[in-house]
Amino acid sequence: MKRFYAKIIFCSLLLVSCGRTINPTKQLERIPDIFPDYAGVTIPYNIAPMNFQLNKADSLDTQLIISAGTTSFQIKGDKGDFEIPMKQWKKLMDQQKGKDVTFTVCYKDGKEWVSYQPFTMHVVADKIDPWLAYRLIPPGYGIWNAMGIYQRCLENFTEKPIMENRLTEYNCMNCHTFQNGNPNKMAFHIRGRHGGSVLIENQKISKIVPQMPEGLKGIAYPHWHPTHDYITFASDQVAQSFYANHYNRIEVYDTRSDVVVYDTKTGVAHTAPYMSDPGAWETFPAFSADGKTLYWSAADTVPSPYPIHYNNAHFSVFKTSFDPETCTFGEKKDTLLYASDNTSFAYPRESPDGRWMVYNQYDYGYFPINHQEGDMHIMDMKTGESRPMDEVNTEHAESYHTWSRNSRWLVYSSRRMDGLFVRAYFTYVDENGHCGKPFVMPQRHPKHFYDNQFNSYNIPEFITGEVKVNAHKIAKTVW
């Protein structure tokens, strides 16, 4: 009898999971209007189910047919919301590496089932890093009473906090960085009361109190060396201006800024004269993929008051050699990207294989997340040739970006969805530097989620695993 009842339960669950099967008798000559727009995207085989919503389907009876090779299954929509079962999705992804998966959206018209033109997603065997770290912050700029740094498993829909500011009297926290995506080596910054930078190494938590070069104080905008225990920072004093009538709502700028490299073992921060020039603002440093070059952006200072002359600050990208064995810099700096009267450059990030560099270009200043004209460009490090990434750029701001460990996936911040909130988007970069159609981070119910998510995704960073540090221990360290 136990076996009999077990079979009944199993069959019931099977019916519930599979649902009905329909056979459309009519096909429209257009693809469906869906959110997010996943038609034609390239996806990694280990990504979470690419659930989507058929728009304007509140009163429709809907069905989704997913097919690939000899495999086919159907999903009943909930007012056009299609939630793909995790187990079936994972099995399909493993099966379709290097191939396409076809999606056919259907709806019932009277007694007849009608289908849209099918669309595809291309599955690649290049794995995406399984976790993503980011800050969630309201877009109001002046209020941060509820914010934190979070992590999301990209292989499912799990999201967990790394640190929330409710544990540190609701101050601002930002600027997290990892060593080569290692979740056991992390640093981030806290502003205001209890301010300072936090260093996390294999569950050991400490507060960074650097011995700074003479005349410098304060650190922000970190980037961890790929192989050694160094973190490069901007030593700056940050300010903001708000505009009543401008296509960019806010301008973030420095009243002073220099670049240092902090040795986490000795506690000493190092610099060079050309990285700490009092007549220039140096900011947003980053190491090369092999750790032997240091990049940063810099501009000549402009007359005070800055808010009046903000559009005269144009940042070039410079570089110098760096010896990680001795923590010493080259004798001089070289110019990688030279700014003009209407261009600025920032965020140079090499792919881990050293082949490509992605950077931001915009009209002025150095803080591209607030510049609607900001776009991303890609440079071939073999030839030095650059081009705009037309596959991903929009009329809205595209800004912060990081690479996956295999140099095939790029995550970046974009306001492309609505021009206001920053979302995390992904694009596939092939061996020739060509980018696939970008897609927003998958959610279990994406339409409901993004309509009700009133925070921006700030500084998306790939990580190779879950950060398991205790947030309360971090709070005790910074108090």
> Over pLDDT 90: what percentage of the chain?
75
Q: Which of 183-192, 230-239, 437-446 is least confident? A: 230-239
The answer on pLDDT for 314 being more than 60 is: yes
Q: What is the mean pLDDT of the chain?
A: 91
Task: Give tens-digit pLDDT for 368-392.
Answer: 777 778 899 999 999 999 999 999 9
Distance CA 329, CA 323 (A): 6
Q: Which fold has domain 19-124?
A: Immunoglobulin-like (2.60.40)
Task: Give tens-digit pLDDT for 224-253.
Answer: 999 999 999 999 777 677 676 666 667 777
Report the pLDDT value the prediction gives residue 7, as an integer from 0 to 100.
45
Q: Residue 159's Cα: distance from chain center in Å?
A: 15
CB < 8 Å & 24+ apart, contacts of 53-56: 53/80, 53/81, 53/82, 53/445, 53/446, 53/447, 54/80, 54/81, 54/82, 54/105, 54/107, 55/80, 56/80
pTM of the model: 0.92
Report the pLDDT value the prediction gives residue 260, as an integer from 0 to 100.
97
Distance CA 110, CA 438 (A): 36
Q: Which fold has domain 131-478?
A: Neuraminidase (2.120.10)
Domain ranges of the chain: 19-124, 131-478
Higher pLDDT, 168 or 409: 409
Task: Give tens-digit pLDDT for 33-74.
Answer: 999 999 999 999 999 999 999 999 999 999 999 999 889 999
